A and B are shown apart, each in its own frame.
Chain A
């Protein structure tokens, strides 16, 4: 049982480049989340999806877009990367929004 799988694990981008972070869960969870983690800032919610077909903005959505492709997959896209988006990105899922979330191993993104 893989749980939550994120790809890639590491990525270096040049300013202005675009990329998509992939996330898939095999636990049949309804809710999925994207967070970014920066030193001293904890985890900040970028976007979340309460169920297939719905997405909502979190605390720091600017510069990002998301797609809930199906129940399993929730991708995060950076259309034009900026150095301020250098961070560790975590995808998470939960059965329902008020149950515990399960996290992927993270994607370490550096924008130069």
Chain B
């Protein structure tokens, strides 16, 4: 069974500081990995994804993530936080569950606060 662990349920950074949100996964097969963002009272929006190929993935709003197979990690970073980045972020992993089916499993989420 696959699982996703996000370290830190709540992270606070100052405006302009580095954002680092951690995600580790377990999967018995090569995973597809995603980061989603959720703004208050809204659904989830895709930030970026890793399927195959380049391990450094760039997404929207200046975010990027690096797939490190040896560390089973897919941490999300942004060089300089903006007030508008305050939201909840979810890491997710997809893996094949047989008969053409895939399951998308989410971590518990990390709420990012940006301090002016």
> Using a CB–CB distance below 8 Å, which chain A residues touch chain B?
4, 31, 33, 35, 40-45, 48, 50-51, 54, 56, 58-59, 90, 92, 94, 96-106
Q: Is the CB of B102 within 8 A of A97?
A: yes
The docked-state distance in angstroms from the alpha carbon of A98 to that of B6 is 21
Q: Is the CB of A50 within 8 A of B102?
A: yes
Provide the residues of chain A in CB contact with B74, threshold 8 Å: none
Q: Is the CB of B100 within 8 A of A42?
A: no
Q: Is the CB of B101 within 8 A of A100?
A: no
For chain B, residues 31 to 47, give those with C-beta under 8 angstroms from any C-beta of chain A: 32, 34, 36, 41-46
Q: How many residues of B contact A (CB 8 A)?
A: 28
Q: Is the CB of B108 within 8 A of A48?
A: no
Q: Is the CB of B105 within 8 A of A56?
A: no
For chain B, residues 19 to 63, give those with C-beta under 8 angstroms from any C-beta of chain A: 32, 34, 36, 41-46, 49, 51
B106 close to A (CB within 8 Å): yes
Provide the residues of chain B in CB contact with A104, threshold 8 Å: 43
B41 CB, nearest partner CB in chain A, Å: 8
The docked-state distance in angstroms from the alpha carbon of A59 to that of B107 is 13
Provide the residues of chain B in CB contact with A97, threshold 8 Å: 94, 96, 100-104
Q: 5 nearest interchain CB pairs?
A: A97-B102, A103-B43, A42-B108, A50-B101, A43-B106
Residue of A nearest to B107 (CB): A42
